Amino acid sequence: MKQEFDNYTQEDFKVWKTLFERQLDNLEDKSCLAYLSCLSELSEVLNANSIPQFEQLNDVLQRKTGWTIEVVPGLIPVGDFFELLSRKKFCSSTWLRSMAQLDYLEEPDMFHDIFGHIPLFMNCEYGDFAQKMGEIGVRFKGSEEILIELQRLYWFTIEFGLLQEAGTKIYGAGITSSFGETNTIYEKSTEIRLFDIDEIISTDFNNNVIQTKYFLLPSFEELYAALNKYEEQLISLACL
């Protein structure tokens, strides 16, 4: 599959511009520095003025970190998703929400997949973590239990992770791409736990509601180190 750029309508371009400008402004003091600097590094090919052309984005991404975008029709089986991650390919849809539904999404659209996810793949530590998660998913693809643990880890980091950095900052794409959720994480009722991989892999999540529990990561290095340790435990258990 590939992006059919000529099929985007005037409304699509307007939606993209509206979402991009509104969220860039909203994230200024809430997003982690790594996300903001990666976004700025991509600014020639990822900006409010135009829906991004995946070929151009891929050129820049691939040159810097080896990651590329893989166009998918929507949600794909988890095994396929991890297999793509292990090959440094991140899935994206190509459709965009309508102007009438700026803040309502049943499934991730291109704004979530590209604006939310893609910039941090310019960061090597973050990308290494995502690739390693994919490799573990491939290695243990026969274990439903391990795949569930990995999905939870993915959820509470890549989708909804927070980073400790002069306060609580956002790095998870589910928050980064959501105007509403970017603001609700700072409400008093939100529970923010310190990053703990053992707690995360045993914590269920609900993808149909705004989250009420998040995990605060000390650094991206910590993310990779925790995943490495988790992999070593899995390998030693598998060898018993």
Residues at the site binding Fe ion, with contacts judged by CB under 5 A: 173
Instruction: Name which of 103 and 198 has its Cβ closer to Fe ion.
Output: 103
CB of 117 to Fe ion, least distance (A): 6
CB of 144 to Fe ion, least distance (A): 22
Instruction: Name which of 114 and 237 has its Cβ closer to Fe ion.
Output: 114
Q: Whats the size of the chain, residue-wise? A: 240
In this chain, which residue has its C-beta nearest to Fe ion?
173
Spatial distance between the Cα atoms of 93 and 106, rounded to a whole number of angstroms: 13
Q: Look up residue 26 and give its amino acid.
A: N
Burial 158-193 (b: 16+ CB within 10 A, else e): bbbbbbbbeebbbbbbbbbbbeebbeebeeeeeeee
Instruction: Name which of 86 and 92 has its Cβ closer to Fe ion.
Output: 92
Instruction: Name which of 32 and 173 has its Cβ closer to Fe ion.
Output: 173
Contacts of residue 221, defined as CB under 8 A and 6 or more positions apart, other chains included, come to 125
- C-alpha distances (whole Å) from 170 to each of 10, 71, 206 are 31, 26, 19
CB of 113 to Fe ion, least distance (A): 6
Instruction: Name which of 38 and 173 has its Cβ closer to Fe ion.
Output: 173
3-class DSSP state of 13: helix
CB of 154 to Fe ion, least distance (A): 9
Please count the CA atoms within 13 angstroms of the CA of 74 that sit on its side-chain side. 3
Rg (CA), the chain: 17
Other beta carbons within 10 Å of 13: 15
Instruction: Name which of 65 and 178 has its Cβ closer to Fe ion.
Output: 178
Instruction: Name which of 162 and 173 has its Cβ closer to Fe ion.
Output: 173
Spatial distance between the Cα atoms of 108 and 106, rounded to a whole number of angstroms: 7
CB of 104 to Fe ion, least distance (A): 16
Spatial distance between the Cα atoms of 124 and 119, rounded to a whole number of angstroms: 11
